[in-house]
């Protein structure tokens, strides 16, 4: 096993982790995008504007087509390779990496659907590779209980969808949004109602973006609201169905791909914060004595590295269990969600430790640690949250079918 600086970053003091030779295949691409993102990150964070320059760089080097199978025009990245690339990108700018994570996991989901025989997946993947299709999601606001209704038309050939979707990351750049709605007119849906999953072009009639994104962190993701007003969704464009309040195969499969990609993203924020702290103490001194000679500093850096290593082991261990020929089942979902939980909670701990090591300098807005401190905390809000993850894993372990939260 070879040890390299993974994710790769120029300079000294980066955190090294063990890897296999093929894992870092796309890390260089992520680093190139990250270098662009880092130049503009503070401006986008200050103004809550979208990371447009980074997305232009992604389009230029093919980063957005990582998960598309090679036979469909993409690069055929594995889930491990996507995780490595996302971790590297997040070391440069968390908002850019989180926005891209939404597209990456949805593209990986389409690749999974293609392998599973879904007839519509190949066309989507070809468009990602050939046309630069960017996929957004409303999953952060919908989850088991969608915030829109889908009323069948009189001829049954389509649905009229109405509702508001929040947390739609990368909405200024997205081409389509993967979303869901409850079938019927009920204002208070419940057991027995059906949920349909589908995608809507953002250019479709009745779709509009409302710029609502003004948040504590992850400000460059531009996760604005999408309003759907009598949007026509053809019945043959429905990609999946499930009961209201239940995971079902469509949502379970989506969450299965979401967890490791997003977990790696928050890991990368923490690894970047660790590197900033190590560089800062390397340049500092107490009197005539360099800070790097102080036992307290030794322990703090060692503790950050130990936490980072355990977080990465969790993610890679879950992906190893997942393998390349996986299905969508609750036990595997519990596995990857536990890994995401470990990555997110450890990432928060590492960023806090990095700020403690650097001291008051990290409290200034000009410090990248201040932004990392805010960005990394967004990880606790993604489904499953850390606490719900434990409850879900326990339910599955105790024999629950794992279809409701």
Q: How much is the pLDDT for 16?
A: 61
Please give the Cα distance from 17 to 190 (Å, whole number): 47
Report CA Rg, the chain: 21
| Residue 190 three-state SS | coil
Q: Is 232 helix (H, G, I), strand (E, B) or coil?
A: strand
Give the whole-angstrom CA distance, residue 397 versus residue 405. Answer: 14
Closest to 278 measured CA to CA, from 370, 350, 348, 218: 350
Instruction: Write down the pLDDT at residue 315.
Output: 97
Q: What is the 3-state secondary structure of the chain?
A: CEEECCCCCCCCCCCCEEECCCCCCCHHHHHHHHHHHHHHHHHHHHHCCCCHHHHHHHHHHCHHHCCCCHHHCCCCCCHHHHHHHHHHHHHHCHHHHHHHHHHHHHHHHHHHHHHCCCCCHHHHHHHHHHHCCCEEECHHHHCCCCCEEEEECCCCCEEEEEEEEEEECCCCCCCEEEEEEEECCCCCCCCCCEEEEEEEECCCCCEEEECCCCCCCCHHHCCEEEEEEEEEEEHHHCCEEEECCCCHHHHHHHHHHHHHHHHHHHHHHHHHHHHHHHHHHHCCEECCEEHHHCHHHHHHHHHHHHHHHHHHHHHHHHHHHHCCCCCCCHHHHHHHHHHHHHHHHHHHHHHHHHHHHHHHHHHCCCCHHHHHHHHHHHHHCCCCCHHHHHHHHHHHHCCCCCCCC
pLDDT for 181-213, tens place per residue?
Answer: 999 876 778 778 999 999 999 999 999 999 999
5 pLDDT more than 60: no
Question: How far apart (Å, rounded) are the C-alpha atoms in residues 95 and 210?
Answer: 19
User: Per the CATH hierarchy, to which homologous superfamily does domain 248-397 belong?
Assistant: Butyryl-CoA Dehydrogenase, subunit A, domain 3 (1.20.140.10)
Angle at 94 between CA 320 and CA 166, to 5 degrees: 95
Block residue for tokens 């103004």 = 47
CATH architecture of 2-134: Orthogonal Bundle (1.10)
Q: Where are the domains of the chain?
A: 2-134, 136-243, 248-397
Tens of pLDDT, residue by residue over 117-152, are 999 999 999 999 999 999 999 988 888 999 899 999
How many Å separate Cα 380 from the centre of its chain?
A: 12
* Alpha-carbon dihedral sign for residues 10, 58, 384, 374: positive
pLDDT of residue 356: 96
Question: What pLDDT does 2 receive?
Answer: 29
Which CATH number is associated with domain 136-243? 2.40.110.10
- Short-list 115, 133, 21, 30, CA closest to 76: 115
> Between helices 27-47 and 79-92, what is the axis angle to 10°?
40
Mean pLDDT of the chain: 92
What number of other Cβ atoms are within 10 A of residue 30's Cβ? 31
CB 209 within 8 A of CB 202: yes
User: Residue 18's pLDDT band (boundaries 50, 70, 90)?
Assistant: low
- Of residues 249 and 336, which shows the higher confidence score? 336
Whether the predicted pLDDT of 9 surpasses 60 = no
Looking at residue 14, its pLDDT comes to 67
The pLDDT of residue 15 is: 64
End-to-end CA distance of the chain: 39
The per-residue pLDDT for 140 is 80
Handedness of CA 213, 187, 207, 33 (dihedral sign): positive
- For residues 119 and 213, give the distance between their C-alpha atoms in angstroms, rounded to a whole number: 36
- How far apart CA 337 and CA 379 sit, in angstroms, is 12
Per residue in 75-127, pLDDT (tens digit) is 999 999 999 999 999 999 999 999 999 999 999 999 999 999 999 999 999 99
Residue 353, both tokens? 């430790």
pLDDT tens, position by position, 211-245: 999 999 999 999 999 999 999 999 999 999 999 99
pLDDT at residue number 1 = 28
pLDDT of residue 164: 96
């Amino acid at each position: 096993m070879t040890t390299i600086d993974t994710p790769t970053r120029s300079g000294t003091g980066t955190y090294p982790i063990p890897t296999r030779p093929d894992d870092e295949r796309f890390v260089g691409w992520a680093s190139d995008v990250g270098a662009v993102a880092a130049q503009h990150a503070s401006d986008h964070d200050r103004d809550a504007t979208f990371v447009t320059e980074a997305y232009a760089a992604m389009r230029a080097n093919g980063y957005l087509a990582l998960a598309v199978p090679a036979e469909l025009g993409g690069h055929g990245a594995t889930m491990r390779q996507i995780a490595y690339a996302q971790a590297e990108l997040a070391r440069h700018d968390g908002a850019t990496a989180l926005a891209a994570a939404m597209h990456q996991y949805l593209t990986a989901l389409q690749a999974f659907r293609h392998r599973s025989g879904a007839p519509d997946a190949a066309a989507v993947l070809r468009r990602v590779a050939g046309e630069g299709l960017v996929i957004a999601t409303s999953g952060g606001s919908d989850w088991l209980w969608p915030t829109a209704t889908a009323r069948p038309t009189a001829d049954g050939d389509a649905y009229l969808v109405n509702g508001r979707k929040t947390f739609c990351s990368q909405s200024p750049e997205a081409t389509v949004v993967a979303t869901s709605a409850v079938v019927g007119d009920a204002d208070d849906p419940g057991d027995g109602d059906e949920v349909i999953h589908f995608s809507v072009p953002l250019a479709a009639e009745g779709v509009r973006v409302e710029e609502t994104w003004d948040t504590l962190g992850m400000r460059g993701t531009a996760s604005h609201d999408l309003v759907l007003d009598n949007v026509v969704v053809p019945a043959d464009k429905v990609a999946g169905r499930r009961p209201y309040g239940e995971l079902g195969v469509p949502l379970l499969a989506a969450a299965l791909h979401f967890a490791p990609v997003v977990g790696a993203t928050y890991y990368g924020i923490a690894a970047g914060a660790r590197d900033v702290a190590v560089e800062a103490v390397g340049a500092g001194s107490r009197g005539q004595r360099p800070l790097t000679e102080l036992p307290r500093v030794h322990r703090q850096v060692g503790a950050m590295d130990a936490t980072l290593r355990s977080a990465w082991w969790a993610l890679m261990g879950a992906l190893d269990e997942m393998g390349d020929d996986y299905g969508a089942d609750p036990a595997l979902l519990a596995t990857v969600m536990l890994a995401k939980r470990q990555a997110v909670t450890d990432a928060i701990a590492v960023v806090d430790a990095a700020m403690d090591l650097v001291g008051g300098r990290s409290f200034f807005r000009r410090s990248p640690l201040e932004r990392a401190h805010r960005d990394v905390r967004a990880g606790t809000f993604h489904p499953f949250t850390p606490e719900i993850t434990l409850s879900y894993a326990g339910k599955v372990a105790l024999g629950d079918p794992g279809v409701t939260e």
